[in-house]
A and B are shown apart, each in its own frame.
Chain A
Amino acid sequence: MTESHETAVHAEHDHKPHGWRRWVFATNHKDIGTMYLIFSGVMFFLGGAAAMGIRAQLFKSGLELFDPAEFNQLLTMHALMMIFGAVMPAWVGLANWMIPLQIGAPDMALPRLNNLSFWILPFAGALLMSAFLVPGGAPAGGWTMYPPLMEQFGASFPMVIFAIHLLGISSILGAINVIVTIMNLRAPGMSLLRMPLFVWTWLITAFLLIAVMPVLAGAVTMLLTDHFFGTSFFNAAGGGDPVLFLHVFWFFGHPEVYILILPAFGVISEIIPTFSRKPLFGYEAMVYATASIAFLSFIVWGHHMFTVGMPVSAQLFFMLSTMLIAVPTGVKVFNWTATMWRGSLSFEPPMLFAVAFLFLFTIGGFSGLMLALVPSDYQYHGTYFVVAHFHYVLVPGAVFAIMGAVYYWLPKWSGRMYDMRLAKWHFWLSAIFVNVLFFPQHFLGLAGMPRRIADYAPQFTDWNMVSSIGGFVFGAAQLLFPYIVWRCVRSGKPVGANKPWEGARGLEWELPSPAPYHSWQEPPSEAVLAHGAEH
């Protein structure tokens, strides 16, 4: 491994602010990235605690533990915490850490904005969580917040709306920063079509964020004015239409689910080639597939609303556009498979998570395809079948990709290697029990169990028990993750080399491990770029 001249120079200038100022006034992309990841981890465990409560309640038929109103609060807050608190900030944290390293930039383009977009989060998160403490409790209308139900909740209603506004502003600022960085700070020679796929998918995700977060803000603001200022956007008695909210919400909501998954596609496209010791198959096709998924994600929102009484022609349109999304999604899966084909595979923890992603995300894609068929969706909608679908794409999908990414890049960040044996334990427990947790939910939904119910008929007990047991073990296994990361950072074995993974490609691996506090102060030369692209 050659250590480039530039990086050696940077290491000498590795001064950083000390104490609390380093974090509160942080402008360094690595510090901000770390804070995002820690915030995400905290929210993941809080959201996970809510999930454990849900699964405990649903362990058997008969109402125990929580009153249905409390149950609905847990359900709503679980989703909001996981989506806005855990998964989205994790991606922004990874973007902060990796995009500058991968494109040869010294930092994010707008470091102060970066500080602001992070520091909004703890306040937004605290506001969101404090909804539990006010009279009447947290909102209990589901993360989809449909009116008029949403307006029946007390003091927490405006709090949650304000929290969503804050989270949205944070996301938009983060997205602006990503776009400006990628557009302006690429090293000379790093043309768009040489960018790593993680950078590409994030660029596209950032455009999705800018396009739809304001739509969400608009939707919840209209809810707010309906409730407090006498407007009637969604109030039928005043000439409004509750279904309008559904349209606006899902115009945000469907691109939102791709915001959660596109960076995962990027991570998987980094990990699989590394551990197959082979370049990504069909790089350009992957870029175009990502872009077409992003475009299509704007014209499929109606698939969440097949039962609300849209005209048949509209239902037909949304069915066809939704089915169309399966094509670029399929292309991605085929490309990953082809990347492994005739490779030289090894199964370190990042690869294990990537392989599990490949299988289990695909299962979620299949159930998505089934859901796209409108007549079948009439039976599936609002049931546990939908819950199974989106958890397959989000947990062994997005969450596994995040964990894979951390296991992949942690040696670069910390300069140390984690306990592989323990990480493999974490993987196997997660991969097995995520299926015990979510697979039976397909059966429950098909057999007629609605989603979001606090109690159910006795014939659903058996599969719910299996699901709950899966949930408890899965949840417990996640405690290994922060422990492994902590141990690694504190006392892991130094990796020494630039590359802990022999098959890794990309500029980040041209830097020493740990990556110096100030990296790529001088942009990498064409020689470094070319070296980074080799195996």
Chain B
Amino acid sequence: MNKLSGTACDARQRGPRHSGGEAQEGPSHGARLGKWAGMLSLAAAMTGTLPAFGSGWDLLNMPRGVTNVSTRIYSLHMMAFWVCVVLAALVFGVMIWSLLFHRKSRGAVADVTMVHNTRVEIVWTTIPVLILVGMAIPAARLLVRINNNTDSELSIRVNGFQWGWQYQYLGTNVSIVSKLATSSDAASMLDSHINPRSVPHYLLDVDHPLVVPVGEKVRLLITSVDVIHSWWVPDLGVKRSAIPGFINEASFTIDPDKPGVYRGQCADLCGRGHAFMPIVVHAVSPAAFETWLKQQESAGKQVSSGEPAPPAAST
């Protein structure tokens, strides 16, 4: 495991999401969409209006993520997606059939006696109800599971502010202020003329990441010092609003075999810097985590001291 300095993040360390994420997303689905994207980018390359095959065409779906919860959310999402695809195929199929074969220009004569049919209407009301119940049951189960925040092994207080995050490891004096990495910050200035592609993890990199152990249940106590923010890391399957004056709970357990760097962003509009307050989570082995935490504590120094910046006066 990497020894973490707790400062700049190691650009070579990449989460599974950034290393062939699409390969994990179910062969049939990925292949289908991939082919379509391929065709589209081919068309684009031919017309010359778009850049040639880029890195983003294959970003089509939700990541599976690295926690039990995120994987189950992914499955629920795919289940709902396929239910919608099947229903759409049926409904659109009937519509298209009508559009093709019941045209006046083909000599179709309207059956004006067809005004209603109670039996059919009962059928197409009850069948959707049954399908919905079938979708609601797994969703409800997972919902209850996600909102169980008990038995955590580590609690971290997450404080959103304009614009960054402060993390406080409860029961220690370790507190981290995590802000947009300076490389991204510089490139994001109007008229910076820095190509964002030349900046590693442009807008998704911070100066001081959150460090957590894999395989342990981490509980977050999320709040804000100014306006509403939202702490979101897709790979962890966690999104919770950070609301001033109130504390929201969330928790995650990263699969023990998935250490890595996981990135996210604020998901609630919070003012001028909303696009510029990413979240970076370093997931390390419990042993490495203990070492890191001890270091931080015994050095007595906080990774970055001082209070979060006060809310800006306007805009």
Q: Which residues of A contact B313 (CB under 8 A)?
A: 152
Cα-based distance from A241 to B226 in the complex (angstroms)? 13
Rounded to whole angstroms, the CA-CA distance of A418 and B271 in the bound complex is 46
Interface of A is mostly: helix
The distance from the CB of B126 to the nearest CB of chain A, in whole angstroms, is: 9
| A400 smallest CB distance to B (angstroms) | 15
Check A340–B95 contact: CB distance below 8 A: yes
- Chain A residue numbers with a CB within 8 Å of B50 are 462, 465-466, 469
Q: Does B237 contact A (CB under 8 A)?
A: yes
Stretch at the interface among B128-136, B171-179, B287-295: B128-136
The answer for the CA separation of A279 and B196 in the assembled complex, in Å, is 58
Contact (Cβ within 8 A) A373 B245: no
Q: Is A446 among interface residues, defined by CB-CB distance under 8 A?
A: yes
Minimum C-beta distance from A325 to chain B (A) = 10
Chain A residues numbered 180-214 whose CB sits less than 8 Å from any CB in chain B? none
Tell me whether A521 is interfacial, beta carbon within 8 Å.
no
Compute how far the CA of A373 lies from the CA of B132 in the bound complex, rounded to whole angstroms: 10
Q: Does A374 contact B (CB under 8 A)?
A: yes
B2 within 8 A of A: no
Which of B60, B116, B241, B244 meets A447, CB within 8 Å?
Answer: B60
- Determine the residue in chain B with the shortest Cβ distance to A242: B243
A458, B55: Cβ atoms closer than 8 Å: yes
Q: With A278-B110, A337-B94 given, is the CB distance from A446 to B62 under 8 Å?
A: yes
The interface-forming segment of A4-12, A379-387, A406-414, A421-429 is A379-387
**Given known contacts A308-B248, A343-B110, A366-B88, A319 and B143 CB-to-CB distance under 8 angstroms:** yes
- How many chain B residues sit at the interface, stated as a range, is 35 or more
Select one of B69, B112, B194 contacting A279, CB under 8 A.
B112
CB pair B312 A152 closer than 8 Å: yes
Known contacts A146-B228, A308-B243, A375 near B73 by CB under 8 Å: yes
Contact of B234 among A68, A312, A379, A454 (CB under 8 A): A379
Q: Are A370 and B81 in contact (CB under 8 A)?
A: yes
Number of cross-chain contacts by CB at 8 Å: 327
- Known contacts: A316-B140, A343-B98. The answer to whether A370 contacts B84 by CB under 8 A is yes
Q: What is the CA–CA distance of A454 and B92 in the complex, to the nearest angstrom? A: 36
Q: Which residue of A lies closest to B41 (CB)?
A: A462
* A392 to B188 CA separation, bound complex (whole angstroms): 31
B157 at the interface (CB under 8 A from A): no
Q: Does B211 contact A (CB under 8 A)?
A: no
A453 to B278, CA, bound (A): 12
Quick check: B267 and A243 within 8 Å, CB to CB?
no
Chain A neighbourhood of B116, CB < 8 A: 281-285
- Beta-carbon nearest neighbor of A142 in chain B: B269
Contacting residues, chain A, for B268 (C-beta < 8 A): 146, 382
A530 at the interface (CB under 8 A from B): no
Segment among B4-12, B197-205, B253-261, B296-304 that sits at the interface with chain A: B197-205
Q: Which of B55-75 contact A (CB under 8 A)?
A: 55-57, 59-63, 69, 72-73
13 A-B contacts (beta carbon < 8 Å): A62-B188, A140-B315, A146-B268, A152-B227, A237-B245, A241-B246, A342-B102, A344-B102, A344-B109, A378-B237, A383-B267, A455-B275, A462-B50
Instruction: Given contacts A149-B270, A382-B239, list 13 more A-B pairs with CB under 8 A.
Output: A148-B227, A154-B315, A242-B246, A279-B112, A280-B115, A281-B114, A319-B139, A341-B102, A344-B103, A344-B110, A370-B80, A448-B264, A452-B274
Q: Which 8 A-B pairs have the closest CB atoms?
A: A236-B245, A382-B267, A453-B275, A447-B59, A462-B56, A309-B248, A366-B84, A149-B227
